[in-house]
């Protein structure tokens, strides 16, 4: 292809060279086949265009909020009272989003690795596929149902646990732990988020663990390793980068999840580590969903600008995760 597609000046051939010679390998591609190729290629390009459009529209519609004066923002920007700059709003929201996602990740990753190892190295083969199906089932449950369950069933039950945990933590001298007895705290929301991102982390980790070469597992066992020691010497080092990217994919999900937070958390806009109390933090996605219906004019621009912040954060996380996965693929392909 590179030789046939050389620029015209490099090949000053006679003008009568038929256009069809451009692709020597494409002899069968005439008429509709060529149209079909362009349609297919065009849709590939269209997809990139859509992603670009998402970014462009968010920037274009968020821009008025970024350029508005403090007076305009506090007048018509729909900001909570007492705020006159966009950063006063976006800052705590980004903080809340990151805090919720980080806690969810901290809870979900060890459990997900455990389940993935259970499926790949502990459970009997027939049980393993059933368990994989059960975990997929967890992924199929809509987020709004998780929110309903979290708000109505989990929150009242788990609030007792939080009161106890807060009581234990309150022993620490430099930190007073506030706790609500409604359960509508960031801690509860994070638990539900953790359950929601469990399936994706499990699925990716499981695939990596299953790819561990039998050779290395047997080498460890033949040295007199127990099953856990075999996993520690052969499976975990092999799967480390895969688990990292799995966790980052999970992080991406947790960052963008709306309903579970919206339906469970009683929000506030503070930089606060009081994760067991209500009225402290809020996430970007839940904030947008809760304010969008009543917003108009500049307030909409403000919401879209916060959405842009979320978009940027999740894109960075996801691209990093995918880049790790892609590099891993190249490695295993070379071996």
Partner 1 sequence: MSATSPTAATTTETAERTRALLTAADPGRRRADRAMTVLIYGAFALAVVPLVSLLWTVVLRGAERFDADFLLTSMRGVFGGMDMGGAYHAAVGTLMITLTATVISVPIGLLVAIYLVEYGRGALARATTFFVDVMTGIPSIVAGLFAFALFSIFLGPGAKLGIIAAVALSVLMIPVVVRSCEEMLKLVPNELREASYALGVPKWLTIVRVVLRTSVAGITTGVLLAVARVIGETAPILITAGVSDSINFNPFDGRMMTLPVYIFSQYRQGPVPCQEGALDCLVDINFDRAWAAALLLIVIVMLLNLIGRLVTRWFSPKLR
Partner 2 sequence: MAQRIDVKDLNIYYGDFLAVEGVSMTIDPRSVTAFIGPSGCGKSTFLRTLNRMHEVIPGARVDGSVELEGVDLYGDDVDPVAVRRTVGMVFQRPNPFPTMSIRDNVLAGVKLNNKRISKSDADDLVESSLRGANLWNEVKDRLEKPGSGLSGGQQQRLCIARAIAVKPQVVLMDEPCSALDPISTLAIEDLIQELKKDYTIVIVTHNMQQAARVSDRTAFFNIAGTGKPGRLIEMNDTATIFSSPAEKATEDYVSGRFG
* Binder of partner 2 out of 63, 161, 210, 219 (CB under 8 A): 219
CB of 238 to partner 2, least distance (A): 7
Q: Does the protein bind partner 2 through residue 243 (CB under 8 A)?
A: no
**What tokens appear for 328 in the block?**
């891993």
Q: Does the protein bind partner 2 through residue 333 (CB under 8 A)?
A: no
Tell me the C-alpha to C-alpha distance, in Å, between residue 326 and each of 22, 158, 241, 331: 33, 40, 11, 9
Q: Does the protein bind partner 2 through residue 124 (CB under 8 A)?
A: yes
* Binder of partner 2 out of 163, 225, 295, 320 (CB under 8 A): 225
133 phi and psi angles, rounded to 5 deg: -65, -40
DSSP state letter for 125: H
Owner of token pair 């994706």: 200
CB of 33 to partner 2, least distance (A): 46
CB of 14 to partner 1, least distance (A): 29
What is the spatial distance between Cα 137 and Cα 220, in angstroms, rounded to a whole number? 35
Q: Toward partner 1, which CB reaches closer, 269 or 325?
A: 325
Is the distance from CB of 263 to CB of 275 less than 8 angstroms? no
172 phi and psi angles, rounded to 5 deg: -60, 135
Tell me the C-alpha to C-alpha distance, in Å, between residue 70 and each of 67, 85, 94, 169, 288: 9, 6, 20, 41, 20
* Binder of partner 2 out of 40, 45, 171, 215 (CB under 8 A): 215
Q: Does the protein bind partner 2 through residue 217 (CB under 8 A)?
A: yes
Q: Does the protein bind partner 2 through residue 103 (CB under 8 A)?
A: no
Q: Toward partner 2, which CB reaches closer, 149 or 238?
A: 238
Q: Does the protein bind partner 2 through residue 127 (CB under 8 A)?
A: no
Interface with partner 2 (CB under 8 A):
124-125, 213, 215-226, 229, 233-234, 237-238
């Amino acid at each position: 292809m590179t030789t046939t597609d050389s620029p015209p000046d490099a090949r000053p051939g006679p003008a009568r060279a038929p256009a069809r010679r451009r692709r020597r390998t494409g002899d069968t591609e005439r008429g509709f086949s060529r149209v079909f190729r362009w349609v297919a290629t065009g849709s590939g390009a269209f997809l990139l265009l859509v992603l670009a459009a998402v970014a462009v529209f968010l920037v274009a519609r968020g821009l008025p909020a970024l350029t508005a004066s403090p007076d305009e923002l506090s007048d018509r920007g729909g900001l909570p009272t007492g705020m006159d700059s966009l950063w006063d709003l976006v800052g705590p929201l980004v903080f809340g989003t990151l805090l919720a996602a980080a806690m969810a990740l901290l809870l979900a990753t060890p459990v997900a690795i455990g389940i993935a190892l259970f499926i790949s190295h502990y459970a009997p083969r027939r049980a393993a596929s059933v368990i994989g199906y059960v975990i997929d089932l967890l992924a199929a449950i809509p987020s709004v149902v998780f929110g309903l369950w979290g708000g109505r069933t989990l929150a009242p039950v788990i609030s007792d646990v939080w009161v106890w945990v807060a009581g234990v933590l309150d022993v620490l001298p430099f930190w007073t732990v506030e706790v609500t007895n409604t359960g509508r705290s960031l801690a509860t929301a994070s638990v539900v988020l953790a359950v929601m991102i469990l399936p994706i982390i499990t699925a990716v980790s499981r695939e990596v663990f299953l790819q561990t070469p039998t050779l290395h597992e047997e080498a460890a066992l033949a040295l007199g390793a127990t099953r856990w020691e075999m996993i520690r010497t052969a499976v975990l080092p092999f799967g480390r980068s895969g688990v990292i990217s799995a966790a980052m994919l999970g992080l991406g999900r947790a960052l963008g999840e709306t309903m579970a937070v919206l339906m469970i958390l009683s929000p506030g806009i503070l930089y606060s580590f009081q994760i067991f109390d209500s009225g402290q933090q809020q996430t970007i996605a839940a904030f947008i969903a809760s304010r969008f219906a009543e917003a108009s004019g500049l307030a909409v621009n403000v919401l879209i600008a916060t959405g842009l912040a979320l978009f940027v954060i999740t894109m960075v996380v996801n691209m990093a995760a995918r880049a790790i996965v892609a590099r891993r693929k190249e490695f295993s392909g070379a071996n």
